[in-house]
């Protein structure tokens, strides 16, 4: 029997066990939407802006490890999706975005709602396809899911002209795909792994630096095993948080521009650095010339060869799936007689404890204005550290990363690479769809939340009991902070004027709104929001926080990790 | 340093723009780029002449390998190779210049492939530097038009780039 292209699309998605499609209809995808109407295997989530559809699909992928799916129409639907796609690309998140395209004969004619989606997204996708024949739909979607999820994951766009969704073809979903041009490496080179183990055991001042690759590669368990066995200090990047339990003694906190003193100093001063699923990003190591240390040995495990020796030259590259490579390392260590040098390690830990004792994340706990850090600390306590936490981009994001101690991977969802304001609420939606009974908190700023505020409507429609933690400082805080430090306090356009009454706004969408103005009310408000009475409700909590609080420590852009500014130095 | 990178990629619409886009997006140099289908019509072979430090060249090779449509990549400079480029030059050929141009063409082992009243068209193949040398030898005022294909390269001996 022959099916239409639109029916084939639906069948393929069902075959891939897709549970949610986040999307928004329009002319070019009407045939597909008609088939969605007739099926009930997956749920379609109607967002209020295509950017949010892609973010929500991306969050679903981050939270579950499965491929997220978004569906948008041609032209403006497609361009609205681009920010979401680029966000997923920068953080290597596996999503498939299906976009409608004008009918094949109209392509290139400047047709109504025509945009070259394949061209526009080329630099921000892992791969993209324009489907030219109805017979190619099934194999293309199969390839799209395969490419998105394997190797270094990433977004894949499938652009389908409207006429193709009407044409008929025999349908058969391919069981597997083989591509001669795409064969991601799995196993690391055994010789290199042996060499790495030898160097790791000879280290005097070792340091483990683990990134988002550990989370994406589900390698957390192996990482914990390795780190505990060695007894070495470990840091996580912003993207890696939760990859190693933050409450563990060996964890020295996040590193980077707003990392802890102990993490940044240990990173700088170590003699053997073990980088795992991390990429020496500029926000992580600052200036690579300053980061360079003669004699320091760097071992780098990553699934993407192009991440190795890109910003920092490494001594022992190991290309492979982080989980597989770490498992092999753990196995080697079991049969290894040599142990880490106990005396050297003890001295190294003593040094680290000295840095740690500076308590670099300390802030004024006696203030009568609400300190943003305090809200995050209380959120951590009230949710018992077990919530899915999403954030937007800015100061609140950094405080969330510093003060919510993530013990599990896939719990912390934020835009690390692209730094996209506006992800917070759609990310919370994606996480809540994935785990309907879990606590989901969106830590945001009054600038960021307004970038996708329309999604409050989606949350109402789908009864998503997301808790919004707005750290309202009436400033584009991170911009203000840079202007404070580097632009002589000239706060150019960083004040957020004419803010809405967020309580009323939330209420008008049918949600619960709260305004919290005193430190003494923070805990009780959070308890109420996460308590049984409001369990099924979205609660929008507007915390009126200190306007001029800054994020510390801070490594100024272009500086070295050890050149950080501490709060007390001001 | 100047490198010649050869690659085989799926002969699909858009594959060329992926490579060209990669070079512009990552600010890699591109001196020339040639592409044509191979004896296996599903594959195209591309030769890219680029330049950069060893680190940059290493990244270029890795990034090219990462493109989903790219099947194989070879940095020809990793071994011995041959490089050839084709150039067509239209030169002024009037009076005494007609003999002069014929002689120059012979010295560089070119061929005159079109003769007109006031001009010759000369076909010349060789390495890029040989073609440069030819142009430098001619008086600027004699050159009416030039067109070059960009370099193609192939490994010497048993160095073979094939799927
Ligand atoms: C889409 C987008 N536009 C601009 C920026 C630049 N930017 C980074 S942080 C920031 C301020 C964010 O303000 P707010 O959401 O209120 O958070 P706060 O820093 O005050 O916590 C801006 C404008 C960005 N990251 N994303």
CA distance A89 to B85: 38
Question: What ipTM, to 2 d.p.?
Answer: 0.93
Give the model confidence (pLDDT) of A338-379 as tens digits. 999 999 999 999 999 999 999 999 999 999 999 999 999 999
Query: Which residues from B are below 8 Å from A120, CB to CB?
Result: none
Give the model confidence (pLDDT) of A310-347 as tens digits. 999 999 999 999 999 999 999 999 999 999 999 999 99
Whole-model pTM: value is 0.97
pLDDT of A62 > 90? The answer is yes
Q: Which DSSP symbol is given to A454? A: T
pLDDT of B13 > 90? The answer is no
Give the confidence band of A569 by pLDDT, cuts at 50, 70, 90. low
Give the model confidence (pLDDT) of A1-15 as tens digits. 899 999 999 999 999
User: Phi-psi region for residue A49, left (φ > 0), alpha (ψ -120 to 50) or beta?
Assistant: beta
Query: A130 vs B17: CB contact, 8 Å cut-off?
Result: no
pLDDT at A568: 74
pLDDT at A1: 85
Partnered with residue B114 across adjacent β-strands are B121
Active-site residue flag, A204: no
List, as own/partner pairs, every contact residues B40-44 make where C-beta atoms lie below 8 angstroms and the sequence separation is at least 24, other chains included. Answer: B40/B163, B41/B11, B42/B10, B42/B11, B43/B8, B43/B9, B43/B10, B43/B11, B43/B71, B43/B163, B44/B8, B44/B9, B44/B10, B44/B11, B44/B15, B44/B16
CA distance A402 to A249: 16
CA distance A100 to A369: 50
CA distance A376 to A470: 11
Query: A305 vs B14: CB contact, 8 Å cut-off?
Result: no
pLDDT at A399: 98
Active-site residue flag, A113: yes
B60 touches chain A (CB under 8 A): no
Active-site residue flag, A478: yes
pLDDT at B78: 96
B66 touches chain A (CB under 8 A): yes
Active-site residue flag, A50: yes
Identify the sign of the CA torsion A371, A372, A375, A381.
Answer: negative
Rg (chain B; Cα; Å): 18
pLDDT at A239: 98
Which residues sit with their C-beta closer than 6 Å to ligand 1? A 392-396, 419-422, 445-448, 471, 473, 475-479
Lowest-confidence range among A235-239, A340-344, A566-570? Answer: A566-570
Identify the sign of the CA torsion A225, A228, A234, A237.
Answer: positive
Start-end of H helices in A435-569: 446-449, 455-461, 477-486, 502-508, 519-530
Strands, DSSP E only, in A290-429?
Answer: 297-302, 316-319, 388-391, 412-413
Q: Which of A407, A502, A405, A393 is closest to A443 using CA atoms?
A: A393
CA distance A143 to A138: 9
Give the confidence band of A396 by pLDDT, cuts at 50, 70, 90. very high
pLDDT of A570 > 90? The answer is no
Query: Which residues from B are below 8 Å from A310, CB to CB?
Result: 59
CA distance B48 to B152: 8
Q: Which of A22, A19, A17 is closest to A429 using CA atoms?
A: A22
Give the model confidence (pLDDT) of B97-117 as tens digits. 999 999 999 999 999 999 999
Query: A305 vs B65: CB contact, 8 Å cut-off?
Result: yes
pLDDT at A507: 98
**Who among B13, B62, B70 is closest to A306 (CB)?**
B62
Hey, what's the torsion of the CAs at A266, A268, A271, A275, to 10 degrees? 80
Quote the percentage of chain A above a pLDDT of 70.
100
Query: A309 vs B9: CB contact, 8 Å cut-off?
Result: no
Q: Report the half-sphere exposure of A361 (CA within 13 A, side-chain side).
A: 23
Give the model confidence (pLDDT) of A461-519 as tens digits. 999 999 999 999 999 999 999 999 999 999 999 998 899 999 999 999 999 999 999 99
The mean predicted confidence, pLDDT, of chain B is 96
CA distance B143 to A74: 50
DSSP codes joined into one string, A462-499: TT---EEEEEE-SB-HHHHHHHHHHSTT--TT-B--S-
Average pLDDT (A98-125) is 98
**Contact in structure between A5 and A166 (CB atoms under 8 Å):** yes
Catalytic option among A142, A162, A371, A467? A162
SS3 A409: coil
Give the model confidence (pLDDT) of A132-175 as tens digits. 999 999 999 999 999 999 999 999 999 999 999 999 999 999 99
pLDDT at A496: 82
Lowest-confidence range among A71-75, A320-324, A563-567, B54-58? Answer: A563-567
Give the model confidence (pLDDT) of A435-448 as tens digits. 999 999 999 999 99
B54 touches chain A (CB under 8 A): no
Give the model confidence (pLDDT) of B32-53 as tens digits. 999 999 999 999 999 999 999 9
SS3 A317: strand
pLDDT of B147 > 90? The answer is yes
Distances (CA, A) of A395 to A261, A471, A472, A495: 18, 9, 11, 14
Hey, what's the torsion of the CAs at A223, A224, A230, A234, to 10 degrees? 80
CA distance A428 to A521: 24
């Amino acid at each position: 029997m022959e099916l239409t292209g639109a029916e084939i699309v639906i069948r393929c998605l069902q075959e891939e066990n897709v549970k949610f499609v986040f999307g928004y209809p329009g002319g070019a995808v009407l045939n597909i939407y008609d088939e969605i109407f007739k099926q009930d295997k997956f749920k379609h989530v109607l967002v209020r802006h295509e950017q949010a559809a892609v973010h929500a699909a991306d969050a679903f992928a981050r939270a579950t490890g499965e491929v997220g799916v978004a569906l948008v129409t041609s032209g403006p639907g497609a361009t609205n999706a681009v920010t979401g796609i680029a966000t997923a690309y920068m953080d290597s998140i596996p999503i498939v975005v299906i976009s409608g395209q004008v009918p094949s004969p109209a392509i290139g004619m400047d047709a109504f709602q025509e945009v070259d989606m394949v061209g526009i997204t080329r630099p921000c996708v892992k791969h993209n396809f324009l489907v030219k024949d109805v017979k190619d739909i099934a194999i293309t979607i199969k390839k799209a899911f395969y490419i998105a999820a394997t190797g270094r994951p990433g977004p894949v766009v499938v652009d389908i002209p409207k006429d193709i969704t009407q044409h008929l073809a025999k349908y058969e979903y391919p069981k597997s795909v083989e591509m001669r041009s795409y064969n991601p490496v799995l196993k690391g080179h055994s010789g290199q792994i042996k060499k790495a183990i030898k160097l790791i055991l000879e280290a005097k001042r070792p340091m483990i630096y683990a990134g988002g690759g550990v989370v994406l590669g589900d390698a957390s368990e192996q990482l914990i095993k390795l780190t505990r066995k060695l007894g070495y200090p470990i840091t996580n990047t912003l993207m890696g948080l939760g990859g190693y339990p933050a409450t563990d003694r060996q964890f020295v906190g996040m590193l980077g521009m707003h990392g802890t003193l102990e993490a940044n100093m240990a990173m700088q001063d170590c003699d053997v650095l073990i980088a795992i699923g991390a990429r020496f990003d500029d926000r992580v190591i600052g200036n690579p010339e300053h980061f360079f240390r003669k004699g320091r040995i760097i071992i780098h495990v990553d699934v993407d060869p192009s991440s190795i020796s890109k910003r920092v030259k490494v001594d022992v590259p190991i290309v492979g799936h982080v989980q597989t490579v770490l498992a092999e390392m753990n196995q080697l260590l079991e049969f290894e007689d040599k142990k880490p040098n106990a005396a050297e390690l003890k001295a190294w830990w003593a040094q680290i404890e000295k840095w740690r004792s500076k308590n670099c994340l300390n802030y004024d706990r006696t203030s009568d204005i609400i300190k943003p850090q305090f809200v995050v600390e209380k959120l951590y306590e009230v949710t018992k550290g077990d919530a899915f936490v999403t954030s937007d981009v800015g100061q609140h994001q950094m405080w969330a990363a510093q003060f919510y101690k993530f013990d599990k991977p896939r719990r912390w969802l934020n835009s690390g690479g692209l730094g996209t304001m506006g992800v917070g609420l759609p990310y919370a939606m994606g996480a809540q769809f994935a785990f309907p009974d879990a606590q989901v908190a969106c830590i945001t700023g009054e600038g960021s939340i307004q970038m996708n505020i329309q999604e409050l409507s989606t949350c109402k429609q789908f009864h998503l009991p997301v808790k919004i933690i707005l750290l309202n400082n009436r400033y584009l805080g991170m911009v203000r902070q840079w202007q404070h430090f580097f632009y002589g306090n000239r706060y150019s356009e960083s004040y957020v004027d004419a803010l809405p009454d967020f309580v009323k706004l939330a209420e008008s969408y049918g949600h619960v709104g709260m305004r919290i103005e005193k430190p003494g009310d923070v805990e009780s408000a959070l308890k109420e929001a996460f308590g049984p009475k409001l369990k099924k409700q979205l609660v929008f909590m507007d915390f009126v926080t200190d306007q001029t609080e800054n994020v510390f420590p801070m490594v100024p852009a272009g500086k070295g990790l050890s050149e950080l500014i501490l709060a007390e130095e001001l | 340093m100047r490198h010649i990178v050869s690659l085989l990629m799926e002969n699909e619409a858009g594959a060329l723009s992926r490579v060209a886009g990669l070079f512009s997006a990552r600010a890699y140099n591109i001196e020339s780029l040639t592409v044509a289908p191979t004896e296996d019509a599903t594959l195209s072979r591309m030769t890219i002449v680029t330049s950069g430090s060893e680190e940059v060249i290493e990244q270029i090779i890795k990034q090219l390998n990462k493109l989903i449509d790219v099947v194989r990549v070879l940095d020809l400079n990793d071994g011995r190779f041959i490089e050839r480029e084709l150039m067509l030059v239209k030169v002024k050929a009037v009076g005494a210049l007609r003999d002069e141009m014929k002689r120059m063409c012979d010295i560089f082992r070119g061929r005159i492939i079109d003769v007109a009243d006031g001009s010759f068209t000369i076909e010349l193949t060789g390495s890029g530097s040989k073609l440069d040398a030819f142009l430098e030898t001619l008086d600027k005022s004699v050159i009416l038009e030039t067109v070059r294909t960009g370099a193609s390269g192939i490994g010497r001996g048993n160095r073979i780039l094939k799927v």
